[in-house]
Amino acid sequence: MKPVWILIADSSRARIFTAENSVAELVEIESLNHSEGRLLDQDLTSDQLGRSKESDGSSGHSYVGEIDPKEQENIHFAKRVTQHLCHELNLNKFENLFVVASPAFLGALRSACSNQLKKHIAFSLNKNVVTKTPEQIRSYLPVSLLT
């Protein structure tokens, strides 16, 4: 039987654990970091919003991007994480995936997941536990990791 994988993530860090069976300890096998996820919006953009001028000389409106920089970084990191997981899934490294992620990042992960990867997600929880110990993380997961 293939081990289950547990993804613990937020906008700046993703930790991947494995467990050989439903009572085994969680063992961290990988960590992906995204330092841009810790930056403030103002640090992600170098310029202020542009201003337009109306033809009659009056001031116009500010140009506003459709996605704020922080959300864009979440999307970028979520794609990186899900691409890595898809690659590992294609190598048959795991069968079922349990996902615990901060609420905002969980949404980005769900959007970035391929249909193939979605079929292997056995459990998801919107909780930020990325800084917790493996023992603390285990308490947020179902009693049986075998589904």
Q: What is the dihedral of CA 119, 9, 140, 107, to 10 degrees?
A: -60
Cα-to-chain-centroid distance, residue 27: 19
Measured between alpha carbons, how far is 147 from 142 in angstroms, rounded to an integer?
Answer: 10
Q: Is residue 7 packed enough to be buried (19+ CB in 10 Å), middle (13-18) or exposed (0-12)?
A: buried
HSE value, Cβ hemisphere, 13 Å, CA-based, for 62: 6
Helices (H) and strands (E) in the chain, counts: 5, 7
At 52, is the pLDDT very low, low, confident or very high (cuts 50, 70, 90)?
Answer: very low
Q: Mind listing the pLDDT tens digit for each residue in 87-141?
A: 999 999 999 999 999 998 999 999 999 999 999 999 999 999 999 999 999 999 9
What pLDDT, on the 0 to 100 scale, is given for residue 130?
97
**Is a pLDDT exceeding 80 seen at residue 12?**
yes
Res. 69 pLDDT band, cuts 50 70 90: confident
Q: What domains, with CATH codes, occur in the chain?
A: 4-38+66-138 (3.30.420.60)
